[in-house]
Structure 1
Amino acid sequence: MATVLITGGKGLIGKALTKKLTNKEHVVNILTRNPKKNNEFLWNVKENFVDKDAFYNVSHVIHLAGAGIADKRWTNERKKELINSRVKTANLIFNKVQEFEIPLKGFISASGIGYYGAITSDKIFTEDDNNPENDFISKNCVEWENAAHQFELLNIPVSILRTGVVLSKNGGALKKMNTPAFLAALGSGKQYMPWIHIDDLCELYVKAVEDKSFTGIFNAVAPEHQTNESFTKLLGKVIHKPVLPMSTPSFILKIALGEMAYILLKGSKVSYKKTANMHNFFFPDLKTALTNIYSGKQT
């Protein structure tokens, strides 16, 4: 049994992960700006404060904190917020682990497939590709991961999950896609959409806690390559919603979303092989994943 401290524990992934960890009899502490429960502890990044009690008996930290990438238009101020919400929070934990002399067994951090850049190509990106594109989404992920890697200076093993589009019945990308009366592909529709079912993603985090060999960088994506067009068509079939024959024009998305539109209009294949060697996917294909989510059987 491990005691795990989670940042971002009240988000979509954090809530599902907390449930999975506690079902496996691990103890979960959550850092929040508004603690209400016994396992919730106060932290304030601006004031460089973390309740020391949050670290009691903690063996692992799972760093999920970060403002939503697609929640708001990317102004210069928003870009700073996106990076700081990931990097400054990790730095605060790093400083407190040293200050309180916490003997962590592992630091486990989220990251994104945006590490490889907002591009569409024939290349299948692997964890060994260390020359990301020089765009904002890539820079954001690089700084995010660098903040995680600093824990290695304390001889603490680090695991990083470069996560694709997370599929869940409780929110996230599917909720946004399913809001209009009709579904439609975006731009050319030929851009790839690496995805993962939230149950598989949470299991990967659990594995990082329970398995000492699960360290390093892993692409948290399902073993299947879907384009935006094929994803949209299959979603329409599963939820019985019409799919427009014409896609949403790129220029409309660029006008509406600005620079952020590129994470919707671009996308390449991301390799799942390293992860699949360590984890048997519950939902290896999109049809199975969507059917599970919309049948109401998701855990």
Structure 2
Amino acid sequence: MSGKILITGGSGLIGMRLSEMLIDQGYEVAHLSRNPDKVSKYKTFRWDVKEGYIDENAITYADYIVHLAGASLATDKWTEERKKEIINSRVKSANLLYKCLSEVEHHVKGFVSVSGINVYGDSGDRLISEENTTGDDFLAEVCKAWEASAWQMHDLNLRTVILRLGIVLSTKGGALPQMARPVKMMAGATLGSGKQYMSWIHIDDACRLFIRAIEDTQFHGVYNAVSPHPVTNKEFMQALANAMNRPIMLPNVPAFALNLVMGEMSEVVLSSVRVSANKVLQTGFTFEYNYLDEALESFYEEEKD
């Protein structure tokens, strides 16, 4: 396959890995960025979501758009101000793309957006499929607004795919390094009750799924981007300790302590989301990392020697 892929949020964890993998497969890649003068190995077009500005050449360049832009959930406490930014950075950026796509003549064939499995809220140990969007906490509201803004592209007759990502495993950022740090220092512990489910995906599988969603026209609508085998937090921490060749030493970190440190953001680690990968599997997509121990081994193998 070849073609020109325009990525928003290209300098983020997934954007960087996805760009590399697309280039390896013969695609051309361009990023949208607020500061296109920053040194980047990718062609970069300017946009400024707050100003409502986008370089139209970006839209006329693209065969496909992958929309990953959004303020990080993990960098700051969730003040009211920060919450607004978390929602607006996702919704307003999609609205800007929609406006430009509806006004400019282009040859974009498809639009792939990221969302999160937090749309399901805390669902205990029930296995959840794509239809059950009953979550009503802050993150669920973020995901719903995000998806609605992305789904507008469908009104422009663009094949639109929304991938609801689970916890993306990578040692270059995201949740894994934060969970691995205490384990490495022999201070690993289960969080909360430890019974809450974590639905995860290896970053390479996540990127392969984005590429598949670009290439395979049967992809349309919403899919859970999670490995087929979610685990509880207790199982996750144990597998991580095994992969890093460390014991889990400490008793559970109680929920109230996490609330004190993280505030509302503790929802991310304390809510239980056990998500089904069936819809993705039915497309014929195969995961390279089906099981957590294989995924963690791919990162920590060299540490065992």
- For the aligned pair, the TM-score class normalised by the smaller chain equals over 0.9
Q: Which of the numbers 258, 264, 277 marks the counterpart of 1:259?
A: 264
State the TM-score, normalizing by the size of structure 1. 0.95
What is the CA–CA distance in structure 1 between the aligned matches of 2:251 and 2:190, rounded to whole Å? 8
**Contact (CA 8 Å) 2:118, 2:273: kept in 1 or not?**
no
Match of 1:164 in 2: 166
Matched, 1:58 2:58: no
* Structure-2 residue corresponding to 1:81: 85
Q: Tell whether the 8 Å contact from 2:125 to 2:272 is kept in structure 1 after alignment.
A: no
Give the match's secondary structure for 2:78.
coil
Residue 116 of structure 2 contacts residue 165 of structure 2 at CA under 8 Å; is this kept in 1? yes
Q: Any conservation in 2 of the 1:161–1:218 contact (CA below 8 Å)?
A: yes
Measure, in 1, the Cα distance between the counterparts of 2:263 and 2:51. Answer: 33
Q: Does 1:280 align with 2:270?
A: no
Of 122, 125, 139 in structure 2, the residue corresponding to residue 122 of structure 1 is: 125
TM-score normalized by structure 2? 0.93
Count residues in correspondence.
Answer: 295
Q: Pick the aligned partner of 1:96 from 94, 100, 103.
A: 100
1:178, distance to aligned residue in structure 2 (A): 1.5
Pairwise CA distance, 1:120: 4.2
Q: Deviations over 1:225-246 (max 9, x none)?
A: 2000000001001101231241
Q: Offset of 1:82 from its aligned partner?
A: 0.4
CA contact (8 A) 1:120 1:191 kept: no
The equivalent residue for 1:140 is 142
> Which runs of no fewer than 5 residues in structure 1 stay unpaired?
none
Q: Contact 2:117/2:273 (CA < 8 Å) preserved in 1?
A: no
Looking at structure 1, the residues matched to 199 and 136 of structure 2 have their Cα atoms a distance apart, in angstroms, of 20
Quote the residue 2:195 is aligned against.
190
Show structure 1 runs of 4+ deviating over 4 A: none
The letter for the 2-side match of 1:33 is R
The one-letter code sitting in structure 2 at the alignment partner of 1:200 is D
Task: Give the RMSD, CA atoms, in angstroms.
Answer: 1.4
Aligned to 2:223: 218
Equivalent position SS for 2:198:
coil
SS of the residue corresponding to residue 189 of structure 1 reads coil
How far off is 1:207 after superposition? Answer: 0.6
Is 1:227 the counterpart of 2:228? The answer is no
Runs of 5+ unmatched residues, structure 2: none
> C-alpha separation between the residues in 1 aligned to 2:125 and 2:240?
24
State the 1:284 CA deviation: 0.2
Partner-residue secondary structure (3-state), 1:10:
coil
Deviation at 1:53, TM superposition (A): 2.1
In structure 1, distance between residues paired with 2:286 and 2:243: 24
Which residue identity is paired with 2:56?
K
The amino acid of 2:113's aligned partner reads S
Q: Secondary structure at the match of 1:107?
A: strand
Identity %: 43
Equivalent-residue separation in structure 2 for 1:105 and 1:198 (angstroms): 25
Contact 2:200 2:226 in 1 (8 A): yes
Secondary structure of 2:272's counterpart equals coil
Amino acid across the alignment from 2:27: H
Contact 1:191 1:268 in 2 (8 A): yes
Residue by residue over 1:123-161, the C-alpha shift from the partner in whole angstroms, topping out at 9 and shown as x without a partner, is: 11101224x221101000000000011111111111000
**Matched AA of 1:92:** L
C-alpha contact 1:112 1:163 (8 A) present in aligned 2: yes
